[in-house]
Amino acid sequence: MRSMWSWARICGSAALALGMVAAGPAAAPVAANEPGAGVSCTGTNTIGFSPGLSLRARRTRITGTGSYRCTSADRRLTAAGSEITGGGVNGCFASDATTVEKITWSTGERSVVVYPMGDVRQVAGQAVVLVVGKVVSGRFRGRTVASPGVQLTLDVPGCATDRGVQRISGPSALLIP
């Protein structure tokens, strides 16, 4: 029974994250005349782990990139790219990490977001992610950021090796109200 409940929670988390990513810009509308209005972006993230994710959680270094299409009251803010770094104790079934996302907006402005922790469900290298962080510098400084997504691996058997799953990729979002 406990195993069935765990799978139900995981599937529910995956459905919620996918729904939030699919809803994208509609999930966080912005008022055109509101000064300092937020932004809503959808796109993809590719995340690397060194060493790779394995059955046993271990200290890993995280690196990655993000690419987004955005909607905002600021019509110049149409896209963003990001670099992701961090680390923590991660495995194919658990994740406890802090990450930093350095975002470059289509306006040329930058933001640095720190995600101290979040709800990252690792299921055999498939990550259902809902991280919440804060913009610590640059555009949107002081604002909260939600970043739901689902990053997948094509190398599920890699979890059972010493090398582990070294890369996951999939849809993601940046929501800054």
pLDDT digits 0-9 by tens, 24-33: 443 444 333 3
Interval 92-129: pLDDT, tens: 888 889 999 999 999 999 999 999 976 666 666 677 77
- Residue 165 near residue 155, CB atoms below 8 Å: yes
In this structure, the number of other CB atoms found within 10 A of the CB of residue 166 comes to: 17
Q: How far apart are CA 28 and CA 175, in angstroms?
A: 7
- Residue 66 near residue 149, CB atoms below 8 Å: no
Contacts (Cβ under 8 Å, ≥6 apart) of 100: 84, 85, 86, 112, 113, 114, 115
Residues of the chain below pLDDT 70? 1-36, 118-125
Q: Read off the pTM.
A: 0.77
Burial of 54 (0-12, 13-18, 19+ CB in 10 A): buried
